C-alpha cells in the first residue's frame, strides 16, 4: 500500500539504476523527502550497461542535491533468479554503502517488501502502477524522443538529436539554422567563434583555437538542456578544425578527439552555389571552392560517413533540410 503523507524524523533509502533518471524517479524522491529528514540514494551500475554509471551518478547528484548520493559499482546479479544468494549479496552491498540502517526503504517495485524486511526497514511503495508518472527507464532508452516530457533537463543532452548546419563562409548557415529551430519548435546553438571575434575586436590568432573550441562545447551543452528533442547547431567543432588547419596549419589533438566523440546525428553541408555576401568577419571570397573542399575533407577525416549537401534555391535548401531531418526523426 502506498504511503505518501506519514512523516518521520528518521532516514530513508532509495536504490536504483537510474538508467536514465526520469520524472518518475523524481516523484519517488519527493515522496521520500516528505517523510524523512535524511535521504540516501544508491546509484547501482554494472560495467556493461549502456549508460555510464558515473554519468548517472552525476545526474543524480544534480537532481537530488540535498540527498547523500552513493555510486555502487559491485557486479551484483540484477534479478533473484540469477544467483541463489541474491538477497544476501545485495544486503551486504547496501550495508557497506549505508552503514547506518535506514528507517524507510522507498521503492516503486514489488521487491521492496523483501528487501526492506532484510534491512529491518519499513517499506513505502510509491506509484507502483505508474499512474502518476506513466514512464520507465527502458521506455526512455527505447524511444527517448517519444517520452521527452519525462526526461529531466540535465539528462536531455544525452538523448537530444543534434543537427549541424556546416560549411564554408557565406552559405546561409545562420539563417537556415535559425529557421529550422523555429520550424521544429526548438533552440539553436550559435557559432561561438563569431561571438568571440566580436568581443575580442581584433584578429584571431592560434591562441584562440582552444578557447573557441571550449566555448563552442559549452554553448552547445547549455542549449541542449533547453532543446525540444532536437538541437540545431550553427556549426560545431568541424568548423573549428577546418579553420584551425587552414589558418594555422594545425589543430590541437584534443579538439579532434572531442569532435569525434561529439559527432552529430546529422550534418547539413551548405553548398557554395549562392552569392557571396560581404561581412567584416569574412575574408576568403576567392577561396570558396578550396574552403568547401576543406569542410568535406574534415568531415571524412572525422569519420562522418554520410551527410546531406544542401544546395539550390532557398526553397530547395529548405525542402532538402526538412526532408533530411524528418527522415532522421522517423528512426528516433
| Distance from C-alpha of 326 to C-alpha of 288, rounded to nearest angstrom | 30
pLDDT band at 4 (very low <50, low <70, confident <90, very high): very low
Contact 166, 302 (CB under 8 A): no
Residue 243 has pLDDT above 50, yes or no: yes
pLDDT of residue 1: 40
pLDDT of residue 2: 46
Residue 93 has pLDDT above 50, yes or no: yes
| Distance from C-alpha of 308 to C-alpha of 26, rounded to nearest angstrom | 39
Rounded alpha-carbon distances, angstroms, from residue 232 to 180, 185, 261, 308, 326: 7, 10, 18, 15, 13
Name the residue among 225, 238, 150 with its Cα closest to residue 186: 225
What are residue 13's phi and psi, to 5 degrees? -135, 135
Name the residue among 66, 119, 60 with its Cα closest to residue 94: 119
Question: Residue 124: how many CB atoms within 10 A of its CB?
Answer: 24
Q: Which residue has the higher pLDDT, 95 or 286?
A: 95
User: What one-character-per-residue DSSP string does 160-217 give?
Assistant: PEEEEEE-SSSSSHHHHHHHHHHHTT--EE--HHHHHHHHH-S---TTHHHHHHHHHH
pLDDT in tens, 175-231: 999 999 999 999 999 999 888 877 776 777 899 999 999 999 999 999 999 999 999
Rounded alpha-carbon distances, angstroms, from residue 197 to 2, 33, 222, 279, 280: 58, 48, 20, 13, 10
The CB-side HSE value for 260 (13 A sphere, CA atoms) comes to 8
Name the residue among 14, 5, 1, 2 with its Cα closest to residue 121: 14
> Residue 124: beta bridge partners?
106
Residue 76 has pLDDT above 60, yes or no: yes
Residue 266 has pLDDT above 50, yes or no: yes
pLDDT band at 276 (very low <50, low <70, confident <90, very high): confident
pLDDT of residue 202: 72
pLDDT band at 281 (very low <50, low <70, confident <90, very high): low
- In the chain, which segments carry CATH 3.40.50.620? 11-141
pLDDT of residue 239: 95
Mean per-residue pLDDT over the chain, rounded? 92
Question: Residue 278: how many CB atoms within 10 A of its CB?
Answer: 7
Q: Which helix (H) or strand (E) holds 233?
A: strand 230-234
Parallel, antiparallel, or unpaired: how do β-strands 122-125 and 68-72 relate?
unpaired
pLDDT of residue 82: 95
Question: Residue 35: how many CB atoms within 10 A of its CB?
Answer: 22
Contact 23, 135 (CB under 8 A): yes
Q: Which residue has the higher pLDDT, 286 or 129?
A: 129
pTM, rounded to two decimals: 0.88
pLDDT in tens, 25-69: 999 999 999 999 999 999 999 999 999 999 999 999 999 999 999
pLDDT in tens, 306-327: 799 999 999 999 999 999 999 9
Overall CATH class of domain 11-141: alpha beta
pLDDT band at 279 (very low <50, low <70, confident <90, very high): low
Contact 165, 268 (CB under 8 A): yes
- In the chain, which segments carry CATH 3.40.50.300? 160-330
Read off the pLDDT of each residue in 264-272 and give the average, rounded to a whole number. Answer: 96
Q: Extract the C-alpha cell encoding 274.
A: 549562392
Helix 208-224 vs helix 192-200: crossing angle, to nearest 10? 130
Q: Is 3.40.50.720 the CATH number for 160-330?
A: no
Amino acid at each position: 500500500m502506498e504511503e505518501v503523507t506519514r512523516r518521520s524524523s528518521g532516514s530513508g533509502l532509495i536504490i536504483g539504476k537510474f538508467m536514465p533518471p526520469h520524472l518518475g524517479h523524481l516523484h519517488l524522491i519527493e515522496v521520500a523527502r516528505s517523510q524523512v529528514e535524511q535521504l540516501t540514494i544508491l546509484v547501482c551500475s554494472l560495467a556493461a550497461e549502456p549508460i555510464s554509471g558515473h554519468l548517472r551518478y552525476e545526474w543524480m547528484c544534480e537532481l537530488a542535491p540535498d540527498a547523500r548520493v552513493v555510486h555502487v559499482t559491485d557486479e551484483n546479479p540484477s534479478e533473484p533468479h540469477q544467483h541463489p544468494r541474491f538477497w544476501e549479496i545485495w544486503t551486504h552491498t547496501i550495508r557497506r554503502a549505508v552503514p547506518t540502517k535506514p528507517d524507510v526503504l522507498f521503492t516503486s517495485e514489488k521487491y521492496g517488501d523483501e528487501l526492506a524486511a532484510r534491512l529491518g526497514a519499513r517499506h513505502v511503495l510509491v506509484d507502483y502502477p505508474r499512474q502518476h508518472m506513466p514512464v520507465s527507464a527502458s521506455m526512455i532508452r527505447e524511444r527517448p524522443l517519444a517520452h521527452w516530457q519525462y526526461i529531466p533537463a540535465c539528462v536531455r543532452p544525452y538523448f537530444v538529436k543534434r543537427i549541424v548546419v556546416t560549411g564554408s563562409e557565406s552559405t546561409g548557415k545562420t539563417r537556415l539554422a535559425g529557421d529550422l529551430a523555429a520550424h521544429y519548435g526548438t533552440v539553436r546553438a550559435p557559432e561561438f567563434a563569431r561571438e568571440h571575434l566580436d568581443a575580442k575586436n581584433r584578429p584571431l590568432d592560434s591562441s584562440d583555437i582552444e578557447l573557441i573550441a571550449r566555448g563552442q562545447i559549452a554553448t552547445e551543452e547549455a542549449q541542449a538542456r533547453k532543446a525540444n528533442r532536437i538541437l540545431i547547431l550553427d556549426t560545431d567543432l568541424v568548423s573549428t578544425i577546418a579553420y584551425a588547419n587552414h589558418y594555422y596549419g594545425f589543430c590541437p589533438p584534443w579538439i579532434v578527439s572531442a569532435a569525434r566523440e561529439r559527432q552529430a546525428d546529422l550534418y547539413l553541408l551548405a553548398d557554395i552555389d549562392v552569392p557571396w555576401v560581404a561581412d567584416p568577419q569574412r575574408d576568403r571570397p576567392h577561396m570558396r571552392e578550396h574552403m568547401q573542399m576543406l569542410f568535406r575533407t574534415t568531415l571524412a577525416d572525422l569519420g562522418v560517413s554520410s551527410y546531406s549537401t544542401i544546395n539550390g534555391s532557398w526553397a530547395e535548401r529548405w525542402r532538402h533540410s526538412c526532408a533530411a531531418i524528418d527522415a532522421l526523426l522517423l528512426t528516433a
